[in-house]
Amino acid sequence: MEVKKICCIGAGYVGGPTCSVIAYKCPDIIVTVVDLNKDRINAWNSKDLPIYEPGLQEIVEERRGKNLFFSTNIDDAIISADLIFISVNTPTKTYGVGKGRAADLKYVESCARHIAEVATGFKIVVEKSTVPVRAAASISNILSSNTKSNSSFQVLSNPEFLAEGTAVTNLIDPDRVLIGGETSVEGQAAIEALSNVYSKWVARDRIIKTNTWSSELSKLAANAFLAQRISSINSMSAICEATGADVTEVANAVGRDSRIGNKFLQASIGFGGSCFQKDVLNLVYLCEALNLPEVANYWQQVIEINNYQRRRFANQIIGSLYNTVYGKQIALLGFAFKKDTGDTRESSAIYVAKYLMDEGAHLKIFDPKVPRKQIITELQHPTITDCPEKARELIEVSGDPYTACAGSHAIAVCTEWDQFKLLDFKKIYDSMLKPAFVFDGRGILPHQKLLDIGFKVSVIGKHRENGGMFKSASSNNILLPSSRVLP
């Protein structure tokens, strides 16, 4: 079977870029991305796309109206498609059984029911969303229990591995494409049909074909391994700060072992984003449901260290500012969960801001890509504050980094935007209250230059002394605080 028409349900961070790249690489395939959210679809059809991704605008503009369409007409797109991606959100459940851990599959289920209701003929239904193992069985069940006499389905798992900020390059040149399906002849034919779409631009040996459950579990496993690396290096950053080791040097020395590799070893204020926490929690919940408590506890620690790191960074700021930030102005540089995206879902900056606001700090926040309203909404969310009015009084969103820093006691770098490295730090220093503190939660600033200007500099994973300040590595006068003297 040859796929000629694709429908993608869910025009989000995955559905939008993935289908734009498919349309770009396969001009013979008609790709329609649909969503219930009218505003989102309007934005995809406008000059201001709903998400920021380097290179995406060009690709959308190249194919939109030719073989790439964004629409709210879900039924028509389902009816005419040969292959349907389900690319809707699968957030952590906020209610009922598994609250706070299990994935909420209500959107996936609603798509399956909708497809069963309107589809006619044969369709390949592809689970693109990240789901717990055996979710495809539920989708198959819903489809087969509601199938009309004139329709039939094959369900595949094809998880997405793109990272935000690099989505277009990840999609154009993926490390691998993973497709899982049934071992039956029909299942293998469906895998082949989807594989033929990707093979228009991805080398065949990069397309991995597995059974459905391996594919579903591999996605959770990949995210868990990546998150675990960050928690591992962040746990090392705490040891570095207490001993005089430098986490950048440790990461380099460890990562040079080809068995370990040098990627994903950047110490930080903790991982954010819509995937890592959700998917690790999902894995933990799965292990508990499978009566594997030791395995569940093992993965839960990845989350615990991440929470610890966020809290630790905020505590360092409070501790260094003489144990009180009440009424003090602090500039937060960066609010997105990583650079090159405007996405703030589960951004560690939110938690750092929360801990500082809990202590009565006034925050001036600047991010080059996150709109003002989004920052305020995040910080007024009920999980962050029980008094949104009070939170509103404590937040000011600045239009540029200089305004954010002027009059502040301290700067906290929360996102690794490249532009922060090139700021005029002398100008910033002159505009701040003294002593002027910098807390570099991403390890990206020119630290020696800042020290020379007169800043008190604190860097994640570098030794601190005398009130928590970084001492340059060349110093031969490193004093370990008595509580941290090594055994």
338 interacts with, out of ligand UDX, ligand NAD, none, CB within 5 to 8 A per kind: ligand UDX
Catalytic position from the list 7, 19, 111, 275: 275
37 binds, among ligand NAD, ligand UDX, none (CB under 5 to 8 A by kind): ligand NAD
Q: According to the binding rule CB under 6 A, does residue 111 interact with ligand NAD?
A: yes
Q: Provide the mask over 63-102, with x wherever binding to ligand UDX is found by CB under 6 A and - wherever it is not.
A: ----------------------------------------
The answer to the question of residue 337 lying near ligand UDX (CB under 6 A) is yes
Does 338 bind ligand UDX (CB under 6 A)? Our answer is: yes
275 classed as catalytic? yes
Q: Is 40 in the site for ligand NAD (CB under 6 A)?
A: yes
Stretch touching ligand NAD by CB under 6 A, among 53-61, 84-92, 209-217, 332-340: 84-92
Instruction: Return the number of the residue (74 or 350) whose C-beta is nearest ligand UDX.
Output: 350
Q: Is 130 annotated as a binding residue?
A: yes
Q: Is 442 in the site for ligand NAD (CB under 6 A)?
A: no
For residue 226, state whether it binds ligand UDX (rule: CB under 6 A): yes
**Smallest distance, ligand NAD to C-beta of residue 225, A:** 14
**88 interface partner picked from ligand UDX, ligand NAD, none, CB below 5 to 8 A per type:** ligand NAD
Q: How near is the Cβ of 280 to ligand NAD at its closest, in Å?
A: 12
276 is in an annotated binding site: yes
Closest separation between CB of residue 233 and ligand UDX, Å? 7
Taking CB within 5 to 8 Å according to partner kind, which of ligand NAD, ligand UDX, none is near residue 457? none
- Which C-beta is closer to ligand UDX: that of 230 or that of 395? 230
Residue 212 binds ligand NAD (CB under 6 A)? no
Q: Which two tokens stand for residue 320?
A: 């260094």
Residue 398 binding partner per list ligand UDX, ligand NAD, none, with a CB distance cut-off of 5 to 8 Å that depends on partner kind: none
Distance CA 392, CA 390 (A): 5
Q: Whole-angstrom Cα distance, residue 62 to residue 222?
A: 32
Q: Does 271 bind ligand UDX (CB under 6 A)?
A: yes
295 annotated as ligand-binding: no
Tally the C-alpha atoms within 13 A of residue 206's C-alpha that lie toward its C-beta.
14
Residue 341 annotated as part of some ligand binding site: no
Residue 201: name its binding partner from ligand UDX, ligand NAD, none (Cβ under 5 to 8 Å by kind).
Answer: none
Strand pairing of 329-333 and 362-366? parallel
Instruction: Please give the Cα distance from 109 to 112 (Å, whole number).
Output: 5
CA 124 remoteness from chain centre: 28
Compose the 20-39 pattern: x for residues touching ligand NAD by CB under 6 A, - for all others. ---------------xxx--
Longest CA pairwise span in the chain (Å):
81
264 binds, among ligand NAD, ligand UDX, none (CB under 5 to 8 A by kind): ligand UDX
Among 107, 122, 161, 429, binds ligand UDX (CB under 6 A): 161
- Please report, as a single letter, which amino acid is at residue 23: A
Interface positions with ligand UDX (CB under 6 A):
160-164, 223, 226, 230, 264-266, 268, 271-273, 275-276, 337-338
Known binding residues for NAD(+) are 10-15, 35, 40, 88-92, 129-130, 164, 275-278, 345
Q: Hey, which residues are catalytic here?
A: 275
